[in-house]
């Protein structure tokens, strides 16, 4: 059978898939601004490199006309994977997912929560995408934004390896930029202690959250989180709330666990 191709760009993530009778060839790389909201998908029956080393994809438009698309030259960090299967399918799924580790959100400006106060913040975390055949095997999973790793914990030997993400941590939904590469989590912070709490970093347990698409605001959203600092000032209670009303789950949590638990405060925010 002739080789067929699919070209996908989501933000700064470029993914090209070619299929033959028994094999998928998957190429991906990152280029440009990670905050670029562009989403571009093209399908075609031919994908070949031209003599300039760039990628030429013949795509079929909605009107049925073929167009030639010249992509950027593959950079040195382009990654390629061959997936050999019993038989390839004409249909392939791109499934959005939350990160596979907790994400440490760093507000652009430090926050202070006075004693006895409650704050509602909107925090964005990077999305992943899985490539799979419907009802069949998963072939690839990759982040839409290349994540930065960070250690979060009270000491070098006590803590957790996480991803780091800068966030505005704003209190109004109108201030949140519409990004296709991030999911939005509404976080409620409650300070029951007798002193103020300064917040520079906040660890979000995103592998335990569900993901959904909110058509009303045009964004991916997660279960809401409530983080409560208790009266002793050293203990924090975490509770996973529900998704906004009327939304359907797009992706279940990576880790199935109880919906509330307690931690030392230093394991959640700093």
Mark whether 181 and 81 lie in a shared domain: no
| Residue 134 domain-assigned (yes or no) | no
How far, rounded to the nearest angstrom, does the alpha carbon of residue 69 sit from its chain's CA centroid?
27
Q: How many domains does the chain contain in total?
A: 2
| Residue 135 domain-assigned (yes or no) | no
CA distance 147 to 149: 6
Mark whether 115 and 175 lie in a shared domain: yes
Domain of 223, in residue numbers: 99-126+144-267
Mark whether 164 and 57 lie in a shared domain: no
Please give the full DSSP string across 101-166, using - where no structure is assigned.
Answer: S-EEEEESS-EEE-TT-EEEEEEEEEEEEEEE-TTS-EEEEEESSPPEEEEEEEETTEEEEEEEEE
| Residue 133 domain-assigned (yes or no) | no
Per residue of the chain (270 residues), give pLDDT as tens: 446 688 999 999 999 988 888 888 899 999 988 888 888 988 865 443 332 233 332 222 233 322 223 333 344 478 888 888 887 778 888 999 999 999 998 888 888 999 999 999 999 999 999 998 887 788 999 999 988 999 988 788 888 899 998 887 787 777 777 788 999 999 999 999 999 998 888 889 999 999 999 988 889 999 999 999 998 888 889 999 988 888 989 999 999 887 877 777 776 665
Scan for tokens 């279940």, then name that residue.
Answer: 252
Joined together, the tokens standing for residue 42 give 């093209």
Mark whether 261 and 152 lie in a shared domain: yes
Mark whether 31 and 150 lie in a shared domain: no
| Residue 131 domain-assigned (yes or no) | no
CA distance 230 to 52: 62
């Amino acid at each position: 059978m002739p080789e067929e191709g699919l070209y996908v760009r989501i933000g700064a993530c470029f993914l090209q898939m070619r299929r033959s009778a028994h094999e998928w060839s998957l190429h991906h790389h990152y280029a440009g601004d990670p905050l670029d909201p562009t989403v571009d998908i093209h399908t075609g029956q031919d994908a070949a490199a031209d003599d300039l080393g760039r990628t030429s994809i013949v795509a079929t438009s909605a009107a049925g006309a073929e167009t030639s698309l010249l992509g950027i030259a593959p950079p040195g960090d382009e990654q390629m994977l061959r997936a050999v299967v019993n038989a390839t399918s004409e249909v392939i799924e791109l499934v959005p997912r939350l990160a596979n580790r907790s994400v440490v959100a760093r507000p652009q400006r430090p926050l202070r929560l006075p004693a006895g106060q409650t704050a509602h913040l909107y925090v964005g975390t990077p999305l992943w995408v899985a490539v799979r055949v419907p009802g069949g095997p998963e072939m690839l999973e990759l982040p839409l934004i290349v994540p930065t790793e960070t250690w979060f914990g009270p000491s070098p030997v006590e803590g957790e390896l996480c991803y780091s993400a800068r966030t505005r941590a704003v209190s109004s939904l109108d201030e949140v930029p519409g990004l296709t590469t991030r999911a939005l989590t509404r976080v409620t912070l409650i300070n029951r202690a007798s002193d103020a709490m300064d917040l520079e970093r906040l660890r979000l347990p995103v592998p335990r959250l569900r993901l959904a698409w909110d058509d009303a605001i045009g964004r991916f959203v997660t279960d809401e989180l409530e983080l409560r600092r208790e009266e002793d000032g050293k203990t924090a209670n975490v509770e996973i709330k529900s998704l906004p009303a009327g939304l359907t789950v797009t992706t279940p949590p990576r880790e199935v666990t109880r919906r509330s638990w307690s931690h030392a405060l230093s394991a959640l925010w700093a």
